[in-house]
């Protein structure tokens, strides 16, 4: 195991010079959207900020979740003092159960709503709850050599915080996800004073959200979205069906105001939507009028213009409530002319096609559709360029480390800082696994990064992007499969019955002819192999079927499909060996 407390050797050892330093290691979230997790080390002590996930892409069939590779933390679990959560979005808490399962006993710190949402993830994964310790904004947590102050920030979810982490080398500010929404209720506004106070005292490094570093100006306020929604809700003659992220509780609050203003009752649909609204109401984070919500059953007695349905599915997820409405599969809602469908969320890159498919389906059904490209029905939870500049001006960091975003976002954030006068060598672009040591006036980066990467979650199984099972699924989805069923005499390898071929997922014009031809080729391959003395070859593959025979059947049948229809499906021989005496399969 690496000596994490002293990565330097010989004359490079800064401890010989008495220079304090602190290490920063991003484990996910740099160069990508999601998987946010970052380790901070001082001496033998480690703290982790967030443990997020990413949802699988179209090239990952069967995968449920994608989480960071936590090998470094697992190998050093006895040094892990705690996990600090900035807010309750899945890309910051979704991988927490998997990390805690491998590091039992580690405490988790966060605000009330964040911890409640995190607890739900443990219940879903059927993993025992860790110690969940609530910290309020402006409270300070002492954890080994670290002193951590929680600082309130504005975001699209309630109860988000940034962190001021005091170390012997200096203070590190981690912004979490933030925007500067000065129109928000006072209880939700970013704590400008606290960020400025730390800036006056001196900030060693600012680790700042970069998600919208390529968006000019200022972000739209939730209040502006609320005004637009109130107008839409009032003017629409039929039902409102609004889709947003279940965790966008600031948006849901504005939706509730718009519904009250226009005389509409709310119905919440989608498991995560119902659970998140329930939790937020129980904790007092989301306050709705007592009669604001009705059930689908009670909604049947309302006129269309008295109803607003808030659902999951803004990203086109195929099993979501919104997708079921578009496909006519929803048990309580049949979309019809007069309905207004609102996509109150930005499309995550890669989801555009699925979202456009839903929009087309709703248009076909005669509904009006509004999405953020053409209507002010969404506000980002991430600060734009001018807000990132203000954060730099408030904190006046010696070093900037852009976090949260694709590589283009990180470089754009660095350029913003250098435009404001920060020397380029103090604006650091890191990648996942890079370990940088911060001193009061210089940095050192370890040449060998720590182990990072991605794990794919399927039920109770973890895989990797190069997993052979995933490769097989991709090949199946692209090319289809041809199964060849045969019964052979164990001793002679003679066919006991003609082969049977089953073709799935392969496009061809004449099913009967191609199937018959594949069966003839398989039979000829077996006869040729037996005649060449292959029965004596007992290199095992399935039971005691010769590997060479299995490979020949694959090659010959695949050759047929390549020559006849220019396709290369997976070929799957299934061979049963039968004893001559009793004809019982092995």
pTM greater than 0.85:
no
Q: Residue 469's pLDDT is what?
A: 61
Average pLDDT over residues 145-152: 98
* DSSP-derived 3-state class of residue 569: coil
pLDDT at 522: 92
Residue 472 CB partners (closer than 8 Å, separation 6+): 570
* Average pLDDT, integer, range 300-304: 96
The predicted pLDDT at position 542 comes to: 42
Tokens of 78: 């006895």
The CA distances from residue 310 to 249, 264, 321, 343, 354, in Å, are 12, 12, 10, 10, 19
Distance between CA atoms of 586 and 580, rounded to whole angstroms?
Answer: 11
Q: How confident is the model at residue 578 (pLDDT cuts 50, 70, 90)?
A: confident
Higher pLDDT, 445 or 544: 445
Tell me the Cα Rg of the chain.
29
Residue predicted with more confidence, 563 or 472: 563
Chain-centroid distance, C-alpha 44: 31
Write phi, then psi, for 177 (nearest 5 degrees): -80, 130
pLDDT at 536 over 70: no
Domain 223-370 sits in CATH 3.40.50.10710: yes
Render pLDDT for 445-471 as a digit per residue (tens, 0 to 9): 887 899 998 888 765 556 566 566 656
Q: Yes or no: say if 143 and 71 are a contact pair by the CB < 8 Å rule.
A: no
Structure tokens at 395: 């904190």
Q: Which segments of 180-238 does DSSP mark as H helices, in order?
A: 192-201, 222-235
Per-residue model confidence as pLDDT tens digits over 369-411: 999 999 999 999 999 999 999 999 999 999 999 999 999 999 9
- The pLDDT of residue 7 is above 90: no
Q: Per-residue pLDDT averaged across 142-159, rounded? A: 96
Question: What angle is formed at CA 404 by the lines to CA 2 and CA 429, rounded to 5 degrees?
Answer: 60
pLDDT at residue 1 greater than cutoff 50: no
Q: Which top CATH class is 468-578? A: alpha beta
> What average pLDDT is seen over the chain?
89
269 DSSP β-pair partners: 311
Name the token pair of 490: 């164990």
> pLDDT for 115-132, tens place per residue?
999 999 999 888 999 999
- pLDDT top residue among 290 and 45: 45
**8 Å CB contact between 152 and 138:** yes
Contact 308, 273 (CB under 8 A): no
Percentage of residues in the chain with pLDDT exceeding 90?
Answer: 69
pLDDT value, residue 86: 98
Find out whether 167 and 149 touch, Cβ atoms under 8 Å.
Answer: no
Distances (CA, A) of 464 to 65, 68, 129, 160, 504: 11, 10, 26, 31, 27
CB 172 within 8 A of CB 139: no
DSSP 193: H
- Rounded Cα distance between 219 and 346, Å, is 13
pLDDT in the model for residue 493: 84
**Is the pLDDT assigned to residue 61 strictly greater than 70?**
no
Give 393's DSSP letter.
H
Mean pLDDT of 132-148: 97
Range 407-418 average pLDDT: 98
Mapped onto helix, strand or coil, the DSSP state of residue 562 is: helix
Q: Is 415 left (phi over 0), alpha (psi -120 to 50) or beta?
A: alpha
Q: Strand pairing of 540-542 and 545-546?
A: antiparallel
Query: Is the Cβ–Cβ distance between 393 and 400 less than 8 Å?
Result: no
Between the alpha carbon of residue 432 and those of residues 48, 336, 405, 417, 444, the distances in Å are 14, 48, 12, 21, 16
Sorting pLDDT into bands at 50, 70 and 90, what band is 568?
A: confident
Domain boundaries, the chain: 18-217+381-460, 223-370, 468-578
Q: What is the rounded average pLDDT of the residues 219-225?
A: 95
pLDDT category at 546 given cuts 50, 70, 90 is confident
**Mean local confidence (pLDDT), 558-582:** 83
Burial of 342: CB neighbours in 10 Å, binned 0-12, 13-18, 19+: buried
Residue with tokens 């976002």: 409
**pLDDT for residue 303:** 97
Q: Per the CATH hierarchy, to which homologous superfamily does domain 18-217+381-460 belong?
A: Ribonuclease Z/Hydroxyacylglutathione hydrolase-like (3.60.15.10)
Residue with tokens 């990508």: 32
* Res 585: pLDDT: 54
C-alpha angle 529-530-531 in degrees, rounded to nearest 5: 90
Give me the percent of the chain exceeding a pLDDT of 70.
Answer: 88
Instruction: Give residue-wise pLDDT tens across range 253-294.
Output: 999 999 999 999 999 999 999 999 999 999 999 998 889 999
In sequence order, which residues have a C-beta less than 8 Å from that of residue 340 and are 6 or more positions away? 232, 236, 238, 239, 240, 241, 367, 368, 369, 370
Q: Report the b/e string of 83-105 with b at 16+ CB within 10 A.
A: bbbbbbbbbbbbbbbbbbeebee
Query: pLDDT tens across 167-208, in order?
Result: 999 999 999 999 999 998 888 899 999 999 999 999 999 999
pLDDT at 475: 63
pLDDT at residue 576 in the model: 87
Q: What is the mean pLDDT of residues 67-90?
A: 96
């Amino acid at each position: 195991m690496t000596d994490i407390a002293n990565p330097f050797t010989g004359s490079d050892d800064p401890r010989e010079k008495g220079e304090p330093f602190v290490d920063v290691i991003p484990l996910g979230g740099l160069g990508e959207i999601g998987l946010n997790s970052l380790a901070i080390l001082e001496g033998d002590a480690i703290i982790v900020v967030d443990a997020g996930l990413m949802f699988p892409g179209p090239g990952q069939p069967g995968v449920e979740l994608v989480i960071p590779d936590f090998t470094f933390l697992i190998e050093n679990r006895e040094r892990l003092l705690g996990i600090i959560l900035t807010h309750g979005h899945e890309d910051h808490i979704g991988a927490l159960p998997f990390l805690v399962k491998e590091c039992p006993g580690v405490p988790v710190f966060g605000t009330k709503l964040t911890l409640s949402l995190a607890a739900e993830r443990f219940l879903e994964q059927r993993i025992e709850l860790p110690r969940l310790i609530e910290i309020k904004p402006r409270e300070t947590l002492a954890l080994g050599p670290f002193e951590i102050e929680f600082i309130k920030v504005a975001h699209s979810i309630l109860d988000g915080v940034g962190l001021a982490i005091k170390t012997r080398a200096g203070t590190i500010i981690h912004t979490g996800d933030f925007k500067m929404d000065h129109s928000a209720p006072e209880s939700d506004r970013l704590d400008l004073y606290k960020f400025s106070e730390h800036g006056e005292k001196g900030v060693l490094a600012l680790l700042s959200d970069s998600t919208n570093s390529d968006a000019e100006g200022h972000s739209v306020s939730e209040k502006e979205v609320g005004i637009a929604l109130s107008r839409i809700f009032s003017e629409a003659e039929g039902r409102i069906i609004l889709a947003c992220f279940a965790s966008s509780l600031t948006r849901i609050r504005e939706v509730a105001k718009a519904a009250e203003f226009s005389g509409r009752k709310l119905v919440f649909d989608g498991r995560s939507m119902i659970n998140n609204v329930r939790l937020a109401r129980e904790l007092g984070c989301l306050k709705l009028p007592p009669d604001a919500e009705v059930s689908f059953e009670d909604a049947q007695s309302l006129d269309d213009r008295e109803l607003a349905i808030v659902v999951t599915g803004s990203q086109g997820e195929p099993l979501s409530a919104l997708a079921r409405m578009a496909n006519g599969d929803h048990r309580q809602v049949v979309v019809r002319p007069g309905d207004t469908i609102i996509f109150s969320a930005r499309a995550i890159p890669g989801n555009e096609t699925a979202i456009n498919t839903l929009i087309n389906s709703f248009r076909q059904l005669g509904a009006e559709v509004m999405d953020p490209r053409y209507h002010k029905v969404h506000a980002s939870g991430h600060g734009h360029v001018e807000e990132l500049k203000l954060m730099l001006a408030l904190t006046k960091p010696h070093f900037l480390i852009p976090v949260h975003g694709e590589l283009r976002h990180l470089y754009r954030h660095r350029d913003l800082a250098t435009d404001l006068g920060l020397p380029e060598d103090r604006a650091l672009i890191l990648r996942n696994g890079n370990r940088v040591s911060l001193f009061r006036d210089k940095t050192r980066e370890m040449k060998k990064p720590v182990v990072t990467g991605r794990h794919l979650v399927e039920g109770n199984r973890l895989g990797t992007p190069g997993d052979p099972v995933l490769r097989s699924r991709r090949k199946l989805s692209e090319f289809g499969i041809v199964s060849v069923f045969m019964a052979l005499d164990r001793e002679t390898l003679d066919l006991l019955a003609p082969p049977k071929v089953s073709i799935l997922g392969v496009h061809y014009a004449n099913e009967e002819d191609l199937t018959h031809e594949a069966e003839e080729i398989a039979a000829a391959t077996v006869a040729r192999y037996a005649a060449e003395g292959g029965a004596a070859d007992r290199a095992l593959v399935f039971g005691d079927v010769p590997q060479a025979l299995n490979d020949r059947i694959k090659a010959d049948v695949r050759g047929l499909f390549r020559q006849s229809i220019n396709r290369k499906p997976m070929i799957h021989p299934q061979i049963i060996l039968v004893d001559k005496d009793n004809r019982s399969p092995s």
